[in-house]
Structure 1
Amino acid sequence: MVYAISLSAEELDDIDWQLQLDQFMGKTMGSSMRPRDLSPQVTLVFARIRPASGTADPAYQLRWLGVVKHPKGRKIATRDALIRVEPLWRSPARVELAAVTASLSREDAAELTSMLSSEVAVLPDELGQCLVAALRGLGPRFAELLDHLTSVANQAPFDSSRVEDRSWQEQYDSARLALTIGEFPLAPLSAWLRPPSRHDTYLAGLIPEPTEQSLIEHDAAHSMPGPRLLRPWDGPDFRCDIHVFEHEGRYIEVANVNATPVEGRLGSDLIYYHEATGSFVMVQYKRLPSIERWVYVDDRLRDQLDRLEAVAQASRQPHAPHDWRLGSDPCFLKLAYWPEDSQADPGGPAAGMYLPLSYVRLLLQDDCTLGPNGGRRLGYSYADRHLINSQFVELVKHGLAGTVGTSREELLALGSERALEGYSVTIAAELGDGRLPGETVRERQRRAHSRKAGKRQAKKRAPATPSKVGKSKPALLGDQMSFFEPDERSPG
């Protein structure tokens, strides 16, 4: 089964640069179009070109290819759902529909043309297979890209009954949260296969992007060799995987580190470090049960809070304007919630409540967290106020939360310490010290203020970073041959 999305050429041209930046698109689909098979599906995005004559039928041109990983989508109205195509790749060449229908039967070609008159169509299995086979026949670059997208579509979903899957899910969410803060596309994290060992990190399972395609058509965000700030953790007990991502001339290094078998891990941490300001925030994950949506505050959690207090002591007194913070809390608990319905698409970091450490202390001294038997609880019904994803991201993105004056050496030492204590640690370091590639403090603020709540407007301008390979006008095959914000409401 294949999804086909058809938009006017004018609409696709208007959002072309934004699609290239974001590497995903959202599309509303009527509930009657929802397929019975809710497994991930390869998706083809066509431009509908109006004919010069008002009486002729429109022409169609393949522009983008991607994957709908959650065909159920997110309900946005009584009869509508929003599907998300991610990852989204530009077609190696603009393909006229005639270039592929020539290899289809007359009946299949007519059915495909008819179905493209709708903005969203679910192609029958046989027709979808024939269409994909025809695209593969256009050359090795199409075959390589379709192999990559098929691998993404066929990856197994997380199984919350397995301890290793829960750990990978939290590592995945940590990396998505870090890239969201830095305004990096999330698509490179979504292509994943189960690693060989259940004790491996999430990053060990990332599927490499098509090499040639990455260099020629997909230079907005791709893995880069050679981390500069992070380095592999030495020692027989450490498992470490590091990936470097680039976007608009900015770089972020993301590492997954652990030093214990998966059964013995105490939880997951995210340490997000901004090099230009020497500042980090730390998020410790606590998984909310899918039904109760609260956790007991036991001795182990209280001990973990004490350890977070010690981590917060790494911060120094502010000495420059960019050192100022709203408060003295660099450490947060994230009570994260994953619905049992694995087909639901979060569209970003998992839903959850972010609680600053000092706020947690106040909650645990108040009657609001008392359970019926006198114990303490944390959860949606036990805290009147909390931060959601978008609020937390904005605080960190604007430099309003985090430590002051943390060095690279202190960051690496903290990562080692947390891993040896039994945590699965994700360290994300956004580069930029004013001398090497990356943002200065002023550039960060200018970017943060220019993208209110992440709702960017497409800008028709040249990329900030030149392509690794010279770009020309997209090739055209055929003439010569014949995007949403996650729902962050508290789960009810």
Structure 2
Amino acid sequence: MVAVIDSGDISELLAFRSGRQGRDSYTSVAWRSHEWKGAKFHLALLVDEEGDVRWLGRAQGRKRVSDRERRVDISEIYEVGGPSLEQIRRLLPERHKQGLQYGILSEAVGEAVTRALLTFHPSESDTIRRLGRQEFFRQEPGERGRRLNEQRDATGLLLEIGEVGREALRDMSAPTPAQPSFLAGLSNRSASEENLINYDIGRFPGMTEVGSAHVDWRIFQSNNRRMFIMNANMEPLETTLGTDVIYYNEFRQSFVLLQYKRLVRESGQTKGAWYRPDKNIWAELERMAKVDELCGNVADGEFRLHGKACWVKLCDSDARVENSQDLVKGMYLAREYFEELLATLKGPRKGPRLGYDNVPRHINNTTFIQLVKDGWIGTRGTATRQLEDIVREVLQNRRVLVLGASMP
């Protein structure tokens, strides 16, 4: 689907947002509700004051701003600098010329406009096709799909913390049965394995050579930021016991360990999404406490609001994700707080049960990212040797590992 939008000159707005956020930006415009129906994605042709298609983007109808108006979000904006609408119109079949107007185009006119646009920008064919695609990310069913989704979410989280941005995740290909990790499904355009990676890996001795583990790694780079990300697992994804995320900041010698726990949707009396601990949880919490003890008692380094490593993310790994860049909504809980909630929050059968309806406070994606990014939480003075020991411990306990290291 294609939409033509009179955006005017938004170059200053885009430059301001890009400078502040270091990523593709979006603008929002209001439309009459009858003019923009539904929440489908559209290839957006953004027309400036001169009548030129100066930018391309991805538009989606969002919430209503009044009884008659709806907000339309335009994201992933690329500057292309032309052609004009009239130049495009001249290339259309006669029967479609009158259909080229502002707003959502009919399917036939949209296809004709896309073909005409490709004659002006043949090198952007992949981008043009992708911006108009309805669905970016289709999760594979079953346990393996859930693990891949957790790896995808963890990778996006690490890229956001490291201020690289999640744009590289757009190019994720559809998972295949042979794909051993999320990183294995990313195109070579998204991240590199160039010769410099050998230098980066050398800073973390032994981590990429864990005995019998399957390991994939990539280097992501943007805006003078550099992030080394590794996926590792000892066994096939569908047989592992969970997903751990480790973020290590080389400059601050700080790390955070995040363990994914799954909210399961229930019906009947307990309707909603809930976390109920299994028999392994107490051993896992004991290991996490040892990690905090190992790395949380160092006095050297920057001040922290919370100076321990271990956190838990409660989330629905089956939740629908429309875009491969999106993070899964979740509740972030420090280990001690998580233990307290397990001891105090009970379900109808008196067993521990945690969910949005009864957890009184939690940290969301945005706040967690900002706290880690700014160094307000996490250990201080952590040596890479300690980190290597923790990596081995995670893998020996049959967990999937997503490791991110932020480098100068």
Same fold (TM over 0.5): yes
| 8 A contact 1:87–1:188 mirrored in 2 | no
Aligned to 1:141: 123
Aligned to 2:360: 384
The answer as to 2:3 corresponding to 1:3 is yes
1:36 to 1:44, Cα distance in 2 relative to 1, 3 A: closer
Which residue, 399, 412, 426 being the options, matches 2:402? 426
Aligned to 1:331: 310
- Report the CA distance between 1:156 and its aligned residue: 4.7
Which residue, 275, 278, 284 being the options, matches 1:304? 284
Q: Deviations over 1:448-482 (max 9, x none)?
A: xxxxxxxxxxxxxxxxxxxxxxxxxxxxxxxxxxx
- Counterparts of 1:90-129 in structure 2, within 5 Å, are 90-91=79-80, 93-112=81-100, 114-115=101-102, 121-129=103-111
Q: Deviations over 1:192-244 (max 9, x none)?
A: 112333552112112344xxxxxxxxxxx975733343477336743322222
Distance in 1, matches of 2:264 and 2:201, equals: 34
Which residue, 220, 227, 236 being the options, matches 1:245? 220
Question: What SS is found at the alignment partner of 2:34?
Answer: helix
1:26 to 1:339, Cα distance in 2 relative to 1, 3 A: farther
Aligned to 2:142: 162
- Counterparts of 1:125-274 in structure 2, within 5 Å, are 125-146=107-128, 149=131, 155-159=136-140, 161-209=141-189, 225=194, 226-227=196-197, 228-230=199-201, 233-234=208-209, 237-274=212-249
| 8 A contact 1:167–1:268 mirrored in 2 | yes
| 8 A contact 2:99–2:106 mirrored in 1 | no
Distance in 1, matches of 2:310 and 2:69, equals: 39
Q: Deviations over 1:353-409 (max 9, x none)?
A: 11101112222333xx12222211222233222212222222212211111222234
The answer as to 2:363 corresponding to 1:361 is no
The answer as to 2:62 corresponding to 1:23 is no
| 8 A contact 1:355–1:387 mirrored in 2 | yes
Aligned to 2:269: none
Which residue, 78, 82, 89 being the options, matches 2:78? 89
The answer as to 2:362 corresponding to 1:400 is no
Distance in 2, matches of 1:36 and 1:389, equals: 27
1:129 to 1:342, Cα distance in 2 relative to 1, 3 A: same
The answer as to 2:391 corresponding to 1:415 is yes
Aligned to 1:472: none
- Report the CA distance between 1:5 and its aligned residue: 3.2
Q: Which residue identity lines up with residue 159 of structure 2 in the other structure?
A: L
1:197 to 1:399, Cα distance in 2 relative to 1, 3 A: same
Q: Which residue identity lines up with residue 262 of structure 2 in the other structure?
A: R
Q: Which residue identity lines up with residue 97 of structure 1 in the other structure?
A: L
| 8 A contact 1:26–1:82 mirrored in 2 | no
Q: Which residue identity lines up with residue 18 of structure 1 in the other structure?
A: R
Structure 1: 5+ residue stretches without partners? 50-58, 116-120, 210-220, 432-437, 439-492
Q: Please, what is the CA RMSD of the aligned residues?
A: 3.1
- Report the CA distance between 1:22 and its aligned residue: 1.8
| 8 A contact 1:158–1:165 mirrored in 2 | yes
Q: Deviations over 1:234-262 (max 9, x none)?
A: 36743322222222212112222222112
- Report the CA distance between 1:66 and its aligned residue: 3.8
Aligned residues: 394
- Report the CA distance between 1:276 and its aligned residue: 0.4
- Identity fraction in percent: 24
Q: Deviations over 1:286-312 (max 9, x none)?
A: 121245222112321222211211222
Bigger mean CA offset, 259-268 vs 416-425: 416-425
Bigger mean CA offset, 382-391 vs 11-20: 11-20
Distance in 2, matches of 1:309 and 1:62, equals: 57
Q: Which residue identity lines up with residue 222 of structure 2 in the other structure?
A: H
- Please, what TM-score do these two structures have when normalized by structure 1? 0.71
Distance in 1, matches of 2:188 and 2:4, equals: 25
Distance in 2, matches of 1:95 and 1:208, equals: 30
1:258 to 1:80, Cα distance in 2 relative to 1, 3 A: farther
Q: Deviations over 1:77-134 (max 9, x none)?
A: 666655555544332x43323332221134533432x32xxxxx32211111111111
| 8 A contact 2:5–2:46 mirrored in 1 | yes
Distance in 1, matches of 2:66 and 2:315, equals: 26
Distance in 2, matches of 1:190 and 1:138, equals: 24
1:195 to 1:13, Cα distance in 2 relative to 1, 3 A: same
Distance in 2, matches of 1:371 and 1:235, equals: 40
